[in-house]
């Protein structure tokens, strides 16, 4: 997760929303299922939820509950094609790990800026200018919101929960709660500015926190 290739998918809401339907249709036939299994499109599809190319203010393609819509499509794929469940969940786990990695690195750099703590020279964002940290923080919060909304749709189906736990999903939910939710101070102002709407900022924070709590409770009571 330290190195991450940018997805080649165009930042288009219509395109992103259509991909799960195309995969689902392909998986209806034996030959189509073979193509889906061999090409494994899920890492590329899901990586849009942790890439600045698709986040505000760079793009609005993931607004209007797009991550939940994709999550519903992914759930349908796994329900109708249980043999794909493992590679789908692994792709989700990799995105979660990537978001946690970004959160840890960003926090280190923010501490270096705010408290004069030396940032590791090996950090990928070590050369980031101070104003860029504010943009990176609002991107991170959007990543957390996106992936938790997607996971919520997955966990609505109890059949997925044991497999989600098995691949490490529960521990990563706790890590997401620690590293991807809203900080305080001027970073809140930066987040509102990047989203161009205080109401969206509030929804992003509250929805991420409440969805993470609900996901943890769902797993704990399973």
Cβ contacts of 6-12, under 8 Å, gap ≥ 24 = 6/47, 6/51, 6/53, 7/44, 7/45, 7/47, 7/48, 7/51, 7/53, 8/44, 9/44, 9/45, 9/48, 11/48, 11/53, 11/54, 11/58, 11/59, 11/61, 12/61
pLDDT, mean over the chain: 85
Per mean pLDDT, which range of 64-68, 102-106, 200-204 is the poorest?
200-204
pLDDT category of residue 173 using cuts at 50, 70 and 90: very high
Tokens for 12?
A: 């288009």
Give the residue-averaged pLDDT of 106-133.
69
Note the pLDDT of residue 215. 78
CA distances from 189 to 60, 114, 143 (A): 19, 16, 18
Pick from 87, 3, 9, 89: nearest CA to 49: 9
Q: What is the pLDDT of residues 181-201, one digit of tens each?
A: 765 544 555 555 555 554 454
Note the pLDDT of residue 187. 53
Task: Say which residue, 78 or 119, is predicted with more confidence.
Answer: 78
Q: pTM for the full model? A: 0.83
Give the residue-averaged pLDDT of 74-83.
96
Strand, helix or coil for residue 62: coil
Establish whether the linkage from the previous residue to 57 is cis, with ω within 30° of 0.
yes
Calculate the dihedral angle through the C-alpha atoms of 104, 63, 74, 3, rounding to the nearest 10 degrees: -30
């Amino acid at each position: 997760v330290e190195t991450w290739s940018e997805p080649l998918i165009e930042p288009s809401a219509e395109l992103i929303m259509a991909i799960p339907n195309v995969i689902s249709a392909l998986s209806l036939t034996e030959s189509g299922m073979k193509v889906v299994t061999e090409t494994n499109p899920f890492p590329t599809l899901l990586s849009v939820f942790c890439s600045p190319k698709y986040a505000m203010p760079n793009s609005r393609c993931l607004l209007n509950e797009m991550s939940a819509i994709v999550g519903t499509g992914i759930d349908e794929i796994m329900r109708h094609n249980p043999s794909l469940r493992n590679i789908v969940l692994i792709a989700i786990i990799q995105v979660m790990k990537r978001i946690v990695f970004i959160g840890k690195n960003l926090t280190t750099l923010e501490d270096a800026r705010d408290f004069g703590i030396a940032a590791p020279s090996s950090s990928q964002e070590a050369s980031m200018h101070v104003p860029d940290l504010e943009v990176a923080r609002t991107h991170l919060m959007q990543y957390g919101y996106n992936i938790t909304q997607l996971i919520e749709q997955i966990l609505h189906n109890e059949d997925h929960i044991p497999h989600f736990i098995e691949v490490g999903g529960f521990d990563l939910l706790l890590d997401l709660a620690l590293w991807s939710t809203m900080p305080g101070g001027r970073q809140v102002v930066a987040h509102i500015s990047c989203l161009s709407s205080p109401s969206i900022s509030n929804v992003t924070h509250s929805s991420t926190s409440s969805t993470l709590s609900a996901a943890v409770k769902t797993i704990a009571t399973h």
